[in-house]
Structure 1
Amino acid sequence: MGKYFGTSGIREVVNEKLTPELALKAGLALGTYLGEGTVVIGVDTRTSSEMLKNAVISGLLATGINVIDIGLAPTPLTGFAIKLYGADAGVTITASHNPPEYNGIKVWDKNGMAYTPDRERKLEEIMDSGQFKRVPWNEIGKLTREDPREEYIEEALKTVSLEDSYTVVVDTGNGAGSILSPYLQRELGNRVISLNSHPSGFFVRELEPNAKSLEMLAKTVKAMNADVGIAHDGDADRIGVVDDTGKFVEYEVMLSLIAGYMLRKYGEGIVVTTVDAGFALDDYIRDLGGRVVRTKVGDVAVAEELARHGGVFGGEPSGTWIMPQWNLTPDGIFAGALVLEMIDKLGPISELAKEVPRYVTLRAKIPCPNELKEKAMEIIAKRALESFEYKRLIDIDGVRIENEEWWILFRPSGTEPIMRITLEAQTQEKAEELMEKAEKLVREAIREAQG
């Protein structure tokens, strides 16, 4: 983590750490770094988004950069617009699944991939130096406004098509997906029922799409006898799915199913996932000619590996999926269309899900001040290696220890002051035993780091 940028751009509480002044600096720094060209900017529905967007735009224009403002736009639409307009970069004003008092600034490359940590460090250096490019009055950048939604839907319909029509309930969580996801589903020929689709900036459910936050979606799918429920977080780069029986489909299961479908659709190859993904994916795609490559948590790491290996699909067990045939921006909206195509070709999700191997996955969050994370991780790494009998170690992002029966990942959050533990085992009893030991180890390490 850098001074301003975490694992997913700048993300802080508004008017505390994330102020218009900081947003202006970010705009000036990006403009200075690019030197010339065009930047697309879009915002999610948060009450602070317009304020921060205007500050970033001012910084960009002052350095001579042209700006295309696409207004309220889910992150996938920003990624799409960068390529559509041939821009040199993109900016999304979003805090994704964080609570409404947060917002963020995320920068995208011209190929739709998020800026890598190295590039973010360069932006931080420029922000701190104060050495910004300033152009004279007659060279200030030009601001234009565009709406690329129609083109997005047109392009999506060239890639995804359905033979039949389905009843789909779409829950966009009052986020930016409201303006696009239900419309794409309708254009696919489906009957669409929308939930929480007024983009107010006041969120009526927790934004992370999970079993608890999607209880209303699950009830609606059941009550309306729908074929599927599709949900998004605040900027719609993620997808959560409720099956035809009204049951939330666990992320690991959905990740395996869609990876398998992509291998069927595009041919065998590499599937990229992160160190917090379980064994089910490897087991499920092996017979479909897929091979799993694991990388750091975060969509930029997944996108980089996809580009490096020419992978077929990339996804995290958080509902963040990247379809390289479409774009290197994580896209929950296009993912929703693919889920419908999978149902159309292969059958109901409740049936497909039975084929995915099941393990017991447990997750824990333990409060840890940001300034203690590095020291605590050093202690955790040492103790974990001493305390558990493991066969393999992956330390590209936190510490993951594993053997044939289980795995445990200790990792500091890049977006919140917490330490995360994720583990998987073959039985509930074993998973709970491992978690108890892991939690104790982490709490002790944090106490020790405090001195």
Structure 2
Amino acid sequence: MGKYFGTSGIREIVNEKLTPELALNVGRALGTYLDGGTVVVGKDTRTSGEMLKKAVISGLLSAGVDVINIGLAPTPLTGFAIKLYGADAGVTITASHNPPEYNGIKVWQANGMAYTPEMEAELETIIDSGSFRKASWNEIGALRTADPKEEYIKAALDMVELKGSYTVVIDSGNGAGSILSPYLQRELGNKVISLNSHPSGFFVRELEPNAKSLAMLAKTVKVMKADIGIAHDGDADRIGVVDDQGNFVEYEVMLSLISGYTLRKFGKGKIVTTVDAGFALDDYVRPLGGEVLRTRVGDVAVADELAKHGGIFGGEPSGTWIIPQWNLTPDGIFAGALVLEMIDRLGPISELAKDVPRYVTLRAKIPCPNEKKAKAMGIIVREALNSFDYERIIDIDGVRIENGDWWILFRPSGTEPIMRITLEAHTEEKARALMEKAKGLVKDAIARA
């Protein structure tokens, strides 16, 4: 983690660490780094978005960079617009699934992929040095506004096609997905029922799409006898799914199903996921000609591996999916269209999900001050390697130890002052015993750090 940038761009409480001054300097640094060119800028629905967006735009213009302001826009639309307008980079003002007092700044490359940690480190160096490019009065960047929504929908309809029509409930969480996701589903020929789709910036549910936060969506699907419920976080780079029976579909199950469907749609090949994804994915895609590769947590790491290996699909167990045939930006809105095509071709999710192996996954968050993370991780690695009987180790992001029928991942959060434990086992009893031991180990390490 850098001084300003974490796992997923800058993400802080507004007017504390994330101030208009910092936003201005990010714009100036990006303009200096690019040394000319054009940048697309969009924001999610947060109340602080306009303030921060204008500061970033001012910084970019002052460095002689042209800006295309696409206004209120989900992250997938920013990624799409970068390619549509042939821009050199993009910026989204968003804190994704964080609470409303947070906001953030995420920077995107010309190919739609997020800036890598190395690129973010260069921006940080420019910010700290204060050596910004200052354009003369006659070379200040030009600002124009654009609305790429229609082009996005048209391009999506060229890739996804339904033979039938379905009743779809969309819960946009009062986020930026409100202005695009229901409209794409309608254009696909579906009957759309919208929940929480007024883009107010005041979130009526927790933004991370999970079983608890989507209770109202699940109820609505059941009552309206809908075929599916689709939910997004604040910037709609994620997707959560409720099946035709009104049950939230676990992330691991959806990841397996959509990976399998992309292999059917686009052909056999590599599926890229992260170190916190379970064994079910490997077991489900192997018979369909899929080979699973694991990388660091975060969409940039997934996109990077997809680009390197020419993968078919990339996804995290958080509902963050990347469809490289479409774009290297995580896209919960296009993902929603793809899920409907899967139902159209293969049948209801409740039936499809029965084919996905079920193991017991447990997750825990242990509070850990950011300044203690590095030392605590050192202790955790040493202790974990000594006290668990494991066969394999993956240490590309935190440390994951694996045995034939279980695995545990210890990982410091890149966005919050917590240490994460994720584990999987074949039985509830084994999973609980492993978690008990893992929690004790982590708490002890943090106390000693």
Same fold (TM over 0.5): yes
CA separation in 2, counterparts of 1:180 and 1:168?
Answer: 14
Secondary structure of 2:288's counterpart equals: coil
Quote the residue 2:69 is aligned against: 69
Quote the residue 1:194 is aligned against: 194
Percent of aligned positions with the same letter in both sequences? Answer: 80
Number of aligned positions between the proteins: 449
CA separation in 2, counterparts of 1:51 and 1:287?
Answer: 51
Query: How many Å apart are 1:345 and its aligned residue?
Result: 0.0
Secondary structure of 2:15's counterpart equals: coil
CA separation in 2, counterparts of 1:137 and 1:57?
Answer: 16
Quote the residue 1:106 is aligned against: 106
Q: C-alpha offsets along residues 95-153 of structure 1, whole Å, 9 cap, x if unaligned?
A: 00000000000000000000000000000000000000001111100000000000000
CA separation in 2, counterparts of 1:20 and 1:199?
Answer: 22
Amino acid at match of 1:116: T
CA separation in 2, counterparts of 1:57 and 1:165?
Answer: 42
Q: C-alpha offsets along residues 295-350 of structure 1, whole Å, 9 cap, x if unaligned?
A: 00000000000000000000000000000000000000000000000000000000
Quote the residue 1:412 is aligned against: 412
CA separation in 1, counterparts of 2:153 and 2:405?
Answer: 44
Quote the residue 2:446 is aligned against: 446
CA separation in 1, counterparts of 2:375 and 2:250?
Answer: 33
Q: C-alpha offsets along residues 158-212 of structure 1, whole Å, 9 cap, x if unaligned?
A: 0000000000000000000000000000000000000000000000000000000
Secondary structure of 2:233's counterpart equals: coil
CA separation in 1, counterparts of 2:197 and 2:271?
Answer: 32
CA separation in 2, counterparts of 1:53 and 1:149?
Answer: 19
Quote the residue 2:43 is aligned against: 43
Amino acid at match of 2:169: V
CA separation in 1, counterparts of 2:174 and 2:386?
Answer: 46
Query: How many Å apart are 1:267 and its aligned residue?
Result: 0.6
Q: Normalized against structure 1, the TM-score is what?
A: 0.99
CA separation in 1, counterparts of 2:9 and 2:125?
Answer: 15
Query: How many Å apart are 1:431 and its aligned residue?
Result: 0.5
Secondary structure of 1:200's counterpart equals: coil
Alignment of 1:144-159 (within 5 A): 144-159=144-159
Query: How many Å apart are 1:15 and its aligned residue?
Result: 0.2
Quote the residue 2:60 is aligned against: 60
Alignment of 1:163-174 (within 5 A): 163-174=163-174
CA separation in 1, counterparts of 2:299 and 2:77?
Answer: 16
Quote the residue 1:320 is aligned against: 320
Quote the residue 2:293 is aligned against: 293
CA separation in 2, counterparts of 1:89 and 1:417?
Answer: 30
Q: Which runs of 5 or more structure 1 residues have no equivalent in the other structure?
A: none
Quote the residue 2:343 is aligned against: 343
Query: How many Å apart are 1:225 and its aligned residue?
Result: 0.1
Alignment of 1:28-427 (within 5 A): 28-427=28-427
Q: Which runs of 5 or more structure 2 residues have no equivalent in the other structure?
A: none
Amino acid at match of 1:407: W
Query: How many Å apart are 1:375 and its aligned residue?
Result: 0.4
CA separation in 2, counterparts of 1:391 and 1:63?
Answer: 53
